Amino acid sequence: MADNAVINPIPGGWNIGIVTENFSNDIKLAFMKLNKANHSEFTPIAQLATQVVSGTNYVVLAEQKIYHNPIIKIYVSIVFYAKIDAKELSDIEILSITPLPLGCTMVTIPDGQRVYVADIIKEYEKAQQNNNQVTSGEWEKDALVADWPKDIDDAINLLNQNCGTSYKMIACIGKLVEKGITYAILAEQTVICRQDAKNIVFIIFNVFEGKITIYSKEIILEGHTKPIPGGIVIEPSAELPNEIQEEFDSVMKHHGGFAVKPFAYLGYQVVNGTDRFLVAEVMPKLMWVKKRISLVTINAAHNTLKFVDIH
């Protein structure tokens, strides 16, 4: 994507000008405000138009990610006002957020002009798809809960630049050496505007020639910081607490056929006993089956054991 020149500037009027990179400080501030004030994550795709009136009005095309289960992704048109030399979130006023219908090709700006956005959306989706394509080499699936490479800390810092969410490292669960190094990690995610909400996310990113590219982020366990009836409480720990280890050992006495090596505790849910959520290296006792990393749910009251493969 590239910057385009403003078309036919009119003093005091709305001026169409497509910008898809190197966004202005006004847009950065506006999206910081949006991501603080909503149960969503907004990503700017393109500045479509501006109007200079004792400050500046903007129309921006954006992706909105709504944190439901499953996550909903839509495109929206956002209109906002920025004061001259805006420096604080209070210098930004969000005027409207308009969802775009599926397959939308045009966005209408406040004075009635229409901006063609189909190619912008198509190019954005293509870029996202390319980012999500991880090369198909051989993964090393060895859990690492401490002393991980600095690249991982740098990736977490990059993720934390998005003011809508914050991330805290739990474990590195895979590495692929091909065109740089691609890492698979588990992290704790907090949605800033919902301090009681906390998730466990599976993230894949690549480091090549000093550049970090985030390939994908997937919520594998959605929960809360405090107990609520029937809810999942997220309380990650790189080591299993003694009582959880005892429950795990007790359950494993009733199951065979594979070796399970838990390396992190993620949380619990009280429903018909207590479900405990662990992440573990799982190795079926079959010589042709490779090791996998799985979300493991145990319930000591019923001696149940469930697996959901992560990586």
pLDDT at 303 over 60: yes
pLDDT at 124 over 60: yes
Q: At 194, is the pLDDT very low, low, confident or very high (cuts 50, 70, 90)?
A: confident
Whether residue 242 is predicted with pLDDT greater than 70 in this model: the reply is yes
Is residue 209's pLDDT more than 70?
yes
| Closest to 207 measured CA to CA, from 177, 186, 166, 187 | 177
How confident is the model at residue 172, as a pLDDT?
A: 95
**Domain spans, the chain:** 15-131, 150-224, 232-309
Per-residue burial over 257-281, b = 16 or more CB atoms within 10 Å of its CB, e = otherwise: ebebebbbbbbbbeeeeebbbbbbb
State if pTM tops 0.85.
Answer: no
Query: How far, in Å, CA of 157 to CA of 168, rounded?
Result: 9
Give the C-alpha separation, 278 to 293, whole Å. Answer: 11
Task: Return the closest-CA partner of residue 183 out of 221, 156, 161.
Answer: 156
Rounded to whole angstroms, the Cα distance separating 284 from 292 reads 9
Handedness of CA 126, 38, 295, 239 (dihedral sign): positive
pLDDT > 80? residue 37:
no
Decide if 15-131 and 150-224 have a common fold. yes
What is the mean predicted confidence (pLDDT) over 265-290? 82
Average per-residue pLDDT in the chain? Answer: 86
| Spatial CB neighbours of 261, under 8 Å, sequence gap ≥ 6 | 143, 280, 281, 282, 283
Give the pLDDT confidence score for residue 162 in this predicted structure.
78
Task: From residue 296, give the alpha-carbon distance in Å to each of 101, 214, 265, 288.
Answer: 39, 26, 10, 22
- Element (DSSP H or E) covering residue 126: helix 118-131
| pLDDT of 289 above 70 | no
Residue 255's pLDDT band (boundaries 50, 70, 90)? confident
User: What is the assigned CATH class of domain 150-224?
Assistant: alpha beta
| 141-175 per-position pLDDT tens digit | 888 898 999 999 999 999 998 777 899 999 999 99
Question: What CATH number belongs to 15-131?
Answer: 3.10.450
Residue 285 has pLDDT above 70, yes or no: no
Interacting residues of 273 by C-beta distance below 8 A, sequence separation 6+ = 299, 300, 301, 302
